[in-house]
Structures are given as structure tokens and as C-alpha cells.
Structure 1
Amino acid sequence: MEPSNLPGPDIRLARLARVAGLPATWPPTHDFLHRLAEGTGLRTHDLLLVADLPVPATAWLFDGTAGASSSLVSHALDLTDSGRRELRTRARSMTAPEGTLAPWQPRPYEQYPPGFGSLLLRMLALRNLNWSGTAKVMCLMSGVCKAATTIGAVGRGTKPLDAEMLDGFAATLGTPVAVLAELTGVRPSAAPRDPGPEVVATASLIWEVRHLTWDQEAELSAYAQELAGS
């Protein structure tokens, strides 16, 4: 296993503040985290993980059988900009029926040692993406196609982050490669594959559907297919 190279939370936030062009603030205020989210493309909840601060319990409520499917992501990527906006609007209007979501319970193999790999996988867990879901979505969104076990190995620290994986995680999270490179200290490739607008919009959709049920996500995928054919 790779030894952890994870610096303290204040240093991690300072790195992100640097890439966002903001003065570092510790401890972070709500306003600072909001501006940092705008400047990096990450979510405020992602930044709470970076800062080792509590994430609201409601953020971890999911339908364990759901999560952004290959079908939904594939359809979203194929839509026009207006189609993707309409799809995200539909997703935001949907609410899971009462009692259908449950707190996320990490499986034993999802108990990670400290490290940037585990930090990134916990960000994806906030999106209701497990190893398999991440592998499928990452392949569609970035062209970085890895086995689910490889994704898990990054979280466990048995496979180090490299430039290729950095491209894949950046696309899946909808953030520029430079943001993750600055955070993790991993040198990006000479020509990093920054997410295009269709990928960033699809990453936003993944965030919107994280608290939906399997049935709702299937309904949304069917709606995306309708939009593609209209």
C-alpha cells in the first residue's frame, strides 16, 4: 500500500484556494466555502470532506440500488445544451418518496485509509456512485475506462493516482484537471483532458439525481431518450 501523502485539511483547502485565486481562510467560513465551490467547480459538500468537517447527515441518504446509470449519462451527453438544461430541471423537480432513502453504510471494502484516492472516492460516494458506477460513468464522460476494482484500488491506496486517473476523476466530478492536480499534487499530463461543457453539465446532472430512487432515475433516463428524439 502506498504511504499516505495527505496533508492537513488547512493545507488542502489552501491549495484549492490558490487555484481558485482566493485568499486562504482557516477555519473556513460558509461564505469562503461557497466562493471556493464557485471557483473550483466542486460542491460545498466536497469541500467539507476536504476540510475534514462534518457533512450533513441528509447528504448521505440514498437509494442503494440507484445512482447515475450508464443509460442516463449516455443520453445526457448526446443531448443539446438546452436538452441537458431541461433534463436537469426535471431532475431538480423530483423528490424521492418518503421512506425510500436510507443512510449510506460503507461496506468493509469501502473503509479507506487516509489519502487523496479515498477523498475522491468519498466525493463520488456523495453522488451515490460506488466503484462500479464510477467506472462506468468515468468511461463515458472521459474515455478513461478502468475496472471497478481499479477504482477501488485508488481508494485503498494500492494504486497511486496518475495523470490518466486525474483526467477521469476530473470529468466525473465536473471540475478542471488543474483543480485536482493542485489539490493532490499529481502532475497532470502534458495535454490534460479538461471536461467540455457537455461533461460539466452531465456532472451537474449526476449531482441532481443522487437522492432519487431507481424508479425515478429510470423515468428520467426515459425522458432523456425522448428529448434526444425530439
Structure 2
Amino acid sequence: METPTFPDPDVRLARLAAAVGLPAEWPPTEEFLDGLQRRTGLHVHDLMLVADLPLPETAWLFDETAGASSSLVSRSLALPADGRRLLRARARSLTAPAGTLAPWQPRPYERYPEGFGSLLLRMLALRNLNWSGTAKAMCLMSGVCKAASTIGAVGRGAKPLDAEMLDGFAATLGVPVAVLAGLTGVPHPSADGREPAPEVADTAGLIREIRHLTSDQERGLTAYADELGTD
């Protein structure tokens, strides 16, 4: 399978805009990015990565021992809609204590060449998901179960993106697979704009909402999800 070429930022944004029926703008205005965020489901920081725009330093502050655990992801997926709403509200109410977060320092193996695989992995790094965390969340949320090393190989360009991997990344990011198919140019047999299932979309939102929390706070949310599941 031939790996799609990695176009310039203006082309990448134009592809996303075309995928959701928006006229392209370059350079992108704040209003354009806001509209693209609403229609694609990607966060504005994801779009800034697509456009090679600098992100605020606070976007890269994490407790690297935290991130969405498989326990929290699985519990979120199993909750009814009201439970997921309460869990996300609890997550949004939390703030990491001062001094507990530090700037993300990518390891040598996380320094990727340009490409769509690396772009998607950097979006997930913005959610405090490393290769292992991505592999676990992806398996639970999409049924696409790959080794952490395979996730890394996609970032390095050693494994090309295909329709199956697009399904996995789309679910983990909480966006329609058509959005990623339009961005990457990877053919997908069902890239018809179908939205993620509600439990998948809510869990993807939760993953993003806890990105700046500590491991202790993440464990507390998992315990809260257990409580919600027994109500």
C-alpha cells in the first residue's frame, strides 16, 4: 500500500474543511478554526497541529504517570448516558495541584518524521496518551487492537495508515472516520460521515478532559465511575 504524501499545512486544513463542507481559509482565522472544530470534532489544539501553528505552553503540561487508564476507559464505555455525563462533569471540576504538572519532553523514539501517522500521535500526546495508553484505549473504544510498538511504527512511518487504523484513531479521538479519511487521503469503505457511538464520543471527550490531571485524580475518577456503575 502506498503511503499518502504529507502535504503543506494549507492543504491539510483545506482537506479537513472539504470533509465537513466548509470553504477553506488560509491563513486560518480564529472564526474559521472555531467552525472547523465544531464540524470535525477535533479540538482547536489538534487543528493548530494540522496547521503547524504554535500551541500555548500550557497545552503540553502533564503528569506523565497519569493519562486515561484502561480501567477508566472501560468503565466510562459501560456507563449509561447519565453516568457518563456525571463522570465528565466531575472530571471538568478538577484541577491539578500547583507544581504537579511538567512540560512534556518527548523521548527520542517519540520524535517522528513528518507524516499523518506522527500528526495523529501528536494529537493523542496532547491527551497525555503514549503508545501504550493509545493502544489500550483504541482497543477498548474501537475493537482495533494493536501492540504499542505498532502504534509507534505508525508514528515513525514504518507502518502505513490503512482503513483499520483510521477506525482506531477516529474512535480514540472521538471524530467521524470521514474526517480522518479526508485529512489523510487514506481510502475508507465507510467514510460516510457516520458519528462515533455516544459512549465512544463521551469517552473520547473524557480522555481529553483529564489530560492535565494527576494520576491520583485519575484513580479517583475511576473509583467514582465504579460508584456510578452500581447506582
Deviation of the 1:4 alpha carbon: 7.0
* 2:209 equivalent to 1:212: no
Amino acid at match of 1:61: L
* Deviations 1:144-178 (CA, angstroms, capped at 9, x unpaired): 00000000000000000000000000000000000
1:68 is aligned to 68
Give the direction of change, closer, same or farther, for the CA distance of 1:32–1:155 in structure 2 (3 Å limit).
same
2:187 corresponding residue in structure 1: 187
Fraction of identical pairs, as percent: 74
Distance 1:190 1:214 in 2: 37
SS of 2:105's partner is coil
1:59 matched to 2:30: no
Displacement after TM superposition at 1:195 (Å): 2.1
Equivalence for 2:21: 21
Contact kept, 8 Å, 2:117 with 2:155, in 1: the verdict is yes
Q: Does 1:124 find its partner at 2:89?
A: no
| In 2, Cα distance between equivalents of 1:124 and 1:58 | 16
Which residue is 2:160 aligned to?
A: 160
Q: SS in structure 2 opposite 1:68?
A: coil
Q: Which residue of 2 aligns with 1:198?
A: 199
Which residues in structure 2 correspond to 1:54-133 (within 5 Å)? Answer: 54-133=54-133
Partners of 2:178 and 2:191 within 8 A in 1: no
CA RMSD, 1 decimal: 1.4
- The 1-side partners of 2:189 and 2:129 are apart by 26
Q: 1:139 to 1:217 in 2, by over 3 A?
A: same
Q: Shift of residue 93 of structure 1? A: 0.3
**Partners of 2:118 and 2:156 within 8 A in 1:** yes
Contact 2:144–2:167 (8 Å) recurs in 1: yes
Query: Are the counterparts in 2 of residues 67 and 127 from structure 1 also a CA contact under 8 Å?
Result: yes
Counterpart for residue 171 of structure 1: 171
**C-alpha distance in 1, partners of 2:16/2:89?**
29
Contact 1:142 1:195 in 2 (8 A): no
Q: Does the 8 Å CA contact 2:177/2:191 hold for their aligned counterparts?
A: no
- Measured in 1, the distance between the counterparts of 2:201 and 2:16 equals 18
**Deviation readout 1:174-230 (Å, 9 max, x if unpaired):** 000000000000011358885211100100000100000000000000000100000
Contact 2:91 2:210 in 1 (8 A): yes
User: For 1:191 and 1:105, how far apart are their aligned partners in 2?
Assistant: 35
What does 1:140-159 correspond to in 2, within 5 Å?
A: 140-159=140-159
Do 1:4 and 1:114's aligned partners in 2 also have CA atoms closer than 8 Å? no
CA contact (8 A) 1:77 1:198 kept: yes
Sort the Cα spacing of 1:191 and 1:182 in 2 relative to 1 into closer, same or farther, 3 A: closer
Q: Where does residue 39 of structure 2 map in the other structure?
A: 39
Tell me the residue number matched to 1:30: 30
Give the aligned length. 229
Kindly provide the amino acid, as one letter, of the partner of residue 153 in structure 2: A
